[in-house]
Amino acid sequence: MTVRGWKKLFTLKKANPVKPKVDDYDAKHRKTLDSLLPYAKGKAQSNLTEVKYDYVTRSSSIVFAILPEWAINFPPYNVARLAAITKEAGYKTYAFDLNAKAHTVHETWGLDYDPWDGFRDWKWKEAYHEELHSHLEPLMNEYLDKIVAINPTVVGFSLYYCNELPTKWMAKELKKRLPNVIIMIGGPQAHQSYWKPEPEYDIVISGEGEKMLMETLEKIEDGWRPTELAWFKQEEGQRLDLDSLPPPNYDFFDFSDYGFPNGVNAELSRGCTAKCVFCSETHYWKYRGRQARNILEEVADLYYEKGVDVVWFLDSLVNGNLKELRAFAKGVVEKGMKIHWTGYARCDGRMDLEYYKDLAASGCISLSYGIESGSTKVLADMNKGVTVEEIEQNLKHGAEVGIEAFTNWIIGFPTEETQHFYESLMLIWRNRNNNLTDIAGGFTYVMAPDTIIGQNARRFGIADAYFEENWIREDLTNCKIHRLIRLKTFNILLNNLVNDADTDFTNRPGINKSYTLSKLRDIKEIEFEDFDFNICTTGKGRFADSIVNEVWPILRLLWRSRGAYSIELNFSPELDLNEFGNRLAANFTSKILFSITDDGEWDADFTYEFKQSESAWKYNNYSQAESMAATRARRLAIPGSEGVAQWDGEAYDAALLNVNKMNTEDLSFDYTFVSKGKW
């Protein structure tokens, strides 16, 4: 769900809740449990590892800290989870959310952008020291003083891809002021194969943290101290029993610091039932869910004791166990709780209209679907296990019961061709009236080592080399420039999408600096179609031909859905670097001038210029990634490998020779296309 989507949800659902009477809760307790019996399975899965602990007065203490930039709508669930278990075990426990505190004052920083805007996450990596650190440093120093005053045994940081630099700075300063403090690192970034710990870090925990955290603190309590980096990794195949964990402890957080002062995060499950080839999260841990009655009690306690009536489930998918999710929904209704909840979900043909009615009755206001593509071919290549027909069915049923749809898309998947991208545009237009509230189209596909694609890129036609600092297909038809054009044109559709509810779908306002579009008039329904987009022929090879034809899908879709129009669309290194950073920007310049009548008579005047940089090709291979996630991904990507890191000396030498040969070839080109046509 994008930042704009959450702002809309906040506007619709934020409230000053009336705290229900506790006796109302008690009176419904037995009836609720009885009502769950037809829907619950008991234990969601077997072979789970229970997290055991006893309360004992301890001498060790721990401070949990989370630094910018990360989510700011709810108190950090992960920290609340960990703080609950350490406190219940008897450790002196403290927790600070500097991320939320910084967000409350960021408007005084005088920046011309919001650093917490999801489209600006790259600023925290590429421009942190130049643009952000000086604003954040006073707050970090304030909390450094607080931590020094506590003088804890351990300080634990939650690490994400976009808060690495602030965390590194604060850990380094802590070591200066408290030389004996133990710095512990956990979180998603500590799971990644490409991540390397900093010298200031003493302990790294990869995987589910609760059990390893308790075991590590027990060792510290007994006098152990790491003399070198201690890296603890979850046992492969281990799945913690979520029902054995205490409920999260929110005593450390000021709810008024968050976008939803009446809201929390929660989890129905961990892991994912699917094995989508592009996803690394599915390999971090195996799927297991909580009993419906367990999560129901957690939500009920917060509802009746703290007035919480907004819940965002953080699961990879809330509908991984359809029966338990339905049991939770039935339980909410039986308890009479008037809550609003949302979460991520897979499209699933088994979710019929009656199922959606049960979800809506329990307070489900929206679901965030990982749709990814409107192409059945690409969905199959992704191993999504869903069809376009099922996607449209879910969106339709959700709309009928009032459940909003937040949709997420992958632009430029390795096997996505121009026609497939066009099918995504058509799917969005066809379903614009199915209660679509937000459409996330901010990014293109990024290849990660801890994925099936990353472990067998050749299977998906990806070259063993990066071109201009990003992956490219071996046949040269999908590189960062292709994806740049698709992303811009995808957002042109979103920024001009209209429906019967007159929803503002503007997704990425910065794209509006790239184009001018005449006022669109008509609104037409369309069917799916196959179309040959090989209209321009440069005579300069497949690379150039594929790039100059990337713009046609949006031009045709706008005409089919809206009638006559004219557009000017621009690409330039300066324009695109400012909007996307190095992720997509290249030495690529283009101006697209296009107009078309209602009858389909068009005029085109296109200019293109691309200049290849020196040493544009760099060898890239993830076969040596050693994380638990990479091992799992490799097993699926390369049957028979047993997850063992692959290394073939002869193949490596051959790949290096091929890269050296590539660097002698220049794909630079310029091209002008001036033509008329009729559709």
* DSSP H or E segment with residue 66: strand 61-66
pLDDT of amino acid 443 = 81
pLDDT of amino acid 157 = 98
482-507 confidence digits (pLDDT tens):
999 999 999 999 999 998 888 888 88
Q: Are the C-beta atoms of 190 and 157 separated by less than 8 Å?
A: no
**Rounded CA gap, 614 and 135, in Å?**
36
Closest CA to 404 of 430, 365, 433, 440: 365
pLDDT of amino acid 647 = 64
DSSP state of 350: T
3-state percent breakdown (helix, strand, coil) of the chain, nearest 5: 40, 20, 40
585-632 confidence digits (pLDDT tens):
999 999 999 999 999 999 999 999 999 998 899 988 888 887 888 888
Has residue 575 got a pLDDT over 70?
Answer: yes
> 3-state SS string over 387-420?
CHHHHHHHHHHHHHHCCEEEEEECECCCCCCHHH
Has residue 11 got a pLDDT over 50?
Answer: no
Amino acid code (one letter) for 598: D
Count CB neighbours of 352 within 10 A: 12
Residue 236 tokens, joined: 């492969």
> 3-state SS string over 333-347?
HHHCCCCEEEEEECC
Residue 32 tokens, joined: 């609720």
119-155 confidence digits (pLDDT tens):
889 999 999 999 999 999 999 999 999 999 999 999 9
Residue 505 tokens, joined: 């779908």
Has residue 13 got a pLDDT over 80?
Answer: no
541-556 confidence digits (pLDDT tens):
999 999 999 999 999 9
Average pLDDT score over the chain: 90
Residue 29 tokens, joined: 């307790």
| Whole-number Cα distances in Å, 410 to 31, 119, 252, 349, 377 | 44, 15, 37, 21, 14
Q: Are strands 310-313 and 340-345 parallel, antiparallel or unpaired?
A: parallel
Q: Residues 263, 315, 205, 166: what is their CA dihedral angle, to the nearest 10 degrees?
A: -50
Centroid of chain to Cα 274: 16
Q: Band the pLDDT of 25: cuts 50, 70, 90.
A: very low
CA angle 649, 651, 653 (to 5 degrees): 70
Burial 179-194 (b: 16+ CB within 10 A, else e): eebbbbbbbbbbbbbe
**Rounded CA gap, 333 and 321, in Å?**
19
* DSSP H or E segment with residue 86: helix 77-88
Q: Are the C-beta atoms of 561 and 524 separated by less than 8 Å?
A: yes
| Whole-number Cα distances in Å, 394 to 199, 312, 347, 360, 603 | 49, 20, 6, 13, 39
Q: Is the dihedral of CA 449, 450, 455, 459 positive or negative?
A: negative
Q: Are the C-beta atoms of 428 and 493 separated by less than 8 Å?
A: yes
Q: How many residues does the chain have?
A: 679
298-344 confidence digits (pLDDT tens):
999 999 988 999 999 999 999 999 999 999 999 999 999 999 999 99
Closest CA to 436 of 402, 404, 400, 403: 404
Closest CA to 484 of 472, 497, 498, 496: 472
pLDDT of amino acid 437 = 86
DSSP for 483-502, please give it: HHHHHHHHHHHHHT---TT-
pLDDT of amino acid 648 = 66
Name the one residue in this structure whose structure tokens are 């291979």.
621
Beta bridge partners, 206, equal 233
Measured N-to-C along each axis, helices 418-430 and 388-401 cross at an angle, to the nearest 10 degrees, of: 20
pLDDT of amino acid 207 = 87
pLDDT of amino acid 504 = 83
Q: Band the pLDDT of 409: cuts 50, 70, 90.
A: very high
Q: Band the pLDDT of 29: cuts 50, 70, 90.
A: very low
Residue 447 tokens, joined: 């290849």
Q: Are the C-beta atoms of 172 and 164 separated by less than 8 Å?
A: no
In the chain the domains, ranked by start, together with CATH numbers, are: 1-46+261-409 (3.30.750.210), 49-238 (3.40.50.2300), 459-679 (no CATH)
**Rounded CA gap, 6 and 17, in Å?**
19
| Whole-number Cα distances in Å, 151 to 148, 155, 310 | 5, 10, 36
Name the more confident of 195 and 360: 360
Q: Band the pLDDT of 32: cuts 50, 70, 90.
A: very low
Q: Are the C-beta atoms of 244 and 210 separated by less than 8 Å?
A: no
| Whole-number Cα distances in Å, 202 to 83, 167, 190 | 20, 14, 13
Name the one residue in this structure whose structure tokens are 């039932």.
273
Amino acid code (one letter) for 310: V
Beta carbons within 8 Å of 344's beta carbon, 6+ residues apart: 313, 314, 315, 316, 317, 318, 367, 368, 369, 370
pLDDT of amino acid 238 = 85
pLDDT of amino acid 15 = 43
Give the pLDDT mean for 634-659. 78
DSSP state of 460: G
